[in-house]
Amino acid sequence: MSGSNPSVEPNEPGKRRRRRRRSRRKSRNNIHLLPQIFTTGNLFFGFFAIVHASLGNFDRAALGIVLAVVFDILDGRVARLARMTSRFGAEYDSIADTVSFGVAPAMLAFWAGNLQALGRTGLVMAFLFTVCAALRLARFNVSPGRYKGRFQGLPSPAAAGTVASTQWAVSLLRENGVAWSVPEAAVAGGIAALGLLMVSAVPYRSFKQVDVRHPFGTLVLVVLVLAVMAQEPMISLFVFGVCYVASGPIEWAWRRIAGKPLVELPAEPVEEVPS
């Protein structure tokens, strides 16, 4: 008799397997939290933008909106690549987007554009942008779009980014001695137009169909975009934003005139609501 306990060794492999399973489950749970962490970053920078817009730090508010856009993009990319989409994540993302891309840009336009000088009209125009962003996000949750590879209406991050980049462009011009002030009525009209484009049926390119499996082509495109932006980032973002906003109505009108309709997605079945 050696005095050893023969029942210990057979249990050791089983214990190790259980530890490995627990470790893998913990790792998966941590990975599943990653999209929500990015969404929380999106929400934080939206809150950051609202605070700084109220304090008169308009360029910082614009920075907060742009960073919220970045976190929103990362959130969606991570969730899709890791196949970690969920109903909870979609709802949380919509709430964060309403703050960052609905309330924050409206607050920036209201204070930086001096819309309070228009009285009730300025307040209504700013609120119109917010409610249109909320409606746009709600519609997207119900129906992502009508056409293949297209958003239905201007995406709310693009509208918010256009507001932020406009603020940066105006600040840059003023820093370089260009005494250019945008009339309050033009700011109100612009913010209202962006809001109405969000809830319109105008199709906008989604760029989600870009094939990332061929990295060379994607890398060339990224390098070209970065090279252009490096020349003057603030002006470049403004030009890209305006071009994207205008691209939807221009392409839509051209296709109607040329008789080249977009490919429509199959209609989703309508669920009957019991009376």
DSSP line for 174-242 = HHTT------HHHHHHHHHHHHHHHTS--EEE--TT--TTSHHHHHHHHHHHHHHHHH-HHHHHHHHHH
CA gap 196, 128 in Å, rounded: 8
pLDDT band at residue 89 using 50, 70 and 90 as cut-offs: confident
What's the pTM?
0.81
How far lies 122's CA from each of 117, 198, 266, in Å?
Answer: 7, 19, 41
Model confidence pLDDT, tens digit, residues 174-208: 888 887 778 999 999 999 999 999 999 999 988 66
**Looking at residue 66, what is its pLDDT?**
96
Residue 145 DSSP SS3: coil
Largest interatomic CA distance in the chain: 98
Stronger pLDDT, 98 or 205, i.e. the higher one: 98
CA gap 195, 159 in Å, rounded: 8
CA gap 54, 162 in Å, rounded: 19
Domain segments of the chain as ranges: 27-257
Average pLDDT over residues 256-273: 69
Half-sphere exposure of 160 (CA within 13 A, CB side): 36
**Looking at residue 210, what is its pLDDT?**
53
Which tokens hold the place of 32?
């599943």
Model confidence pLDDT, tens digit, residues 1-47: 445 455 445 566 665 555 555 555 544 555 667 888 899 999 999 99
Under a CB-based contact definition with an 8 Å cutoff, are residues 113 and 191 in contact?
yes
Average pLDDT over residues 113-126: 96
Which of 182-186, 220-224, 260-264 is predicted most confidently? 182-186
**Looking at residue 164, what is its pLDDT?**
97
Under a CB-based contact definition with an 8 Å cutoff, are residues 155 and 218 in contact?
no
Under a CB-based contact definition with an 8 Å cutoff, are residues 78 and 35 in contact?
yes
CA gap 141, 136 in Å, rounded: 9
- Among residues 46, 47, 48, 34, the alpha carbon closest in space to that of 76 is found at 34
Q: CATH number of 27-257: 3.30.420.40, 3.40.50.620, 3.40.930.10, 1.20.120.1760? A: 1.20.120.1760
Average pLDDT, the chain: 82
Residue 87: CB atoms within 10 A of its CB come to: 8
Under a CB-based contact definition with an 8 Å cutoff, are residues 191 and 147 in contact?
no
Model confidence pLDDT, tens digit, residues 235-257: 888 989 999 999 999 999 999 89
Stronger pLDDT, 228 or 142, i.e. the higher one: 142
Model confidence pLDDT, tens digit, residues 145-181: 778 888 999 999 999 999 999 999 999 888 888 877 7
Residue 35 DSSP SS3: helix
